[in-house]
Structure 1
Amino acid sequence: MGRTSLVEAIASRLLDAIAAGEFETDRPLPGQAELAKQMDVSRLTVREAVKNLAQRGILRVEHGTGTFVNPRTSWADLEALSRLTDGDGLFRSQALLEVRRMLETGAAELCAERSTPALLQQLDDSLVDMQRAADSQEVDAFVAADIAFHDAILQGTGNPFVAAIFDPMRRQLERSRTETSSVPEIREHALRHHRAIRAAIASGDRRAARAAMDEHMQQTLDDLESFVAGTTPARQADESNRAAS
């Protein structure tokens, strides 16, 4: 194993330990000599691994005092944050959906204004692929086509910063979508909403495109609660109130 790979491996082990709660926030880690002994590597390797995590906002080094775990609000690494929520896939999916909702509704709105025949063809191709995958129950293919549809919208804004913001989240989005797209009802909902988004963008109506994307995000949230987590107490109460009215 090369030196860079070894440093990354030790950084990953340290991150796993932090995510598991072995090292508490704002409490000093063991010294580098002790960590090196525990992990059977050199102190230099540990030092570089700590530097790696510090650059990602996970650790901070206070000279003369020690190395500390930062609060997660200071973390600047999506993969690291995902490890904190690996035991709660629902939380991760909901958190990612909140980010998507803020950005993708605006992206759909821009696309309605800047739509081109090429963009609409990309959306159509993705819809065909989604339907084919749904019919054959190929979850991975469905997820790939779903992501391609949304990527086309991000690119269709004509703003390179929009797509760049999403790129670091791609791995987590794939994981989240795979969890939800394994449910046939969710695939059906996704297809219906994707078609509505495509139609709204093609119409050139900015408000309609934004609303269609927002409705898709709300449906996704509802599906998470209904099919992934089960009906929540709050939703049960709301449904009971509607039934009684």
Structure 2
Amino acid sequence: MSLIEITEVRKAFGDNEVLKGINLNIEPGEVIAIIGKSGSGKSTLLRCINGLETINAGSIAVAGAQLLPDELHLRALRLKVGMIFQQFNLFPHLTVGGNVMVSQTVVKKTAKDQAEAMARKMLDRVGLGHKFDAYPDELSGGQQQRVAIARALAMEPIALLCDEITSALDPELVQEVLAVVRELAAEGMTLVMVTHEMKFARDVCSRVVFMHQGRVHEIGPPEDVFSNPQTAELKQFLGML
């Protein structure tokens, strides 16, 4: 059984159908890159997988459990599937440690000392153990994004969704964030990434999904998708990069 099963998923905003029947199965430990032009539905698909957007048709199952649009199911789902955004969304009034602890204590009702131990462990994992008592505005953008990754990991998700997590960063900070993701991939974490980092997609991802106008247009191993595009749309997209 696939870890994430997306079947005939459709999503519209008003008259604008953004996802037009998406089918995609993701196996445990796979690292999936989703590429495509702006407006092709990439971010919307991620938001549907973790229940931030409700789908209009089709189904999404995570670890065998059907995604149902009620609060109880959605909360359970968000515990299982972590999401990291373009903007770091850290609380400015909390320390780095506090930011990594807060969702554990509020959502999971984890005891404070356990939450702190987990926060320290995950901050170590992203190379920021020494910043536990710092505040977000004392950190670089790359460090803030690594804190956001630690916060997601502290919830012990079975999969992590990354929505263009490097596109708000200065170019020199991109690699430090991708290095963390690369390590997670090596450890076997299931990752679904909307990304513009084609070299990263080629080196690290198991499959690349090219989305075009709300559909999965091409899908395959990176070497096939990048070296041997089958459609004019993908050729054009790769040519523009």
TM-score under structure 2 length normalisation: 0.29
User: Could you say which structure has the higher strand fraction?
Assistant: 2
Q: TM-score, normalised by structure 1?
A: 0.29
* Pair member with larger Rg: 1
